[in-house]
A and B are shown apart, each in its own frame.
Chain A
Amino acid sequence: MSATTAAVPFWRAAGMTYVGYSRLCASMVRSCLKEPYKSEAAEVEKVHYSRSKWSDGKQAKPTICEDDK
Chain B
Amino acid sequence: MSERDDELLGEEGSNTILDQLDSLDERVGSPSMTRAGLAHLGVVVLVLAGLAALPYASTDLRRWQPWVEGEGVPIVRMFQGDGTTEAGMALATGGAVTRGSDEAVVATLGEAVAANLAADDEAAPAPDVEPVAPDEAPPAVRIDPSELEGLVRELEDPGGRAMRPFYEALLRTGQREAGAITRVAHYGDSSIAGDGITVTMRRLLQRRFGDAGHGFVLIARGTMPYHHQDIRHSAEGPWDLDQLVRAGRRDHVYGYGGVLYRAGGGTTARFGTDDRGPVGGSVSRFELWYRQQPRGGRVDLRVDDGEREVVSTRGETTEDAWHTVSVPDGPHRIELRTIGGGESQLYGMVLEREGPGVVYDSLGMVGARARRMLGLDPEHFRAQHGHRQTNLIVLAFGGNDADDVGRTPEQFEDDFRQIIRLARRARPEAGCLLMAPLDQARRDDRGNIVTMDQVPVIVAAERRAAAAEGCAFFDTYEAMGGDGAMRRWFRSNPRLAFGDFRHATPAGYRVVGNMLYRAILKGFSDYLTQS
A and B: partners?
Answer: no
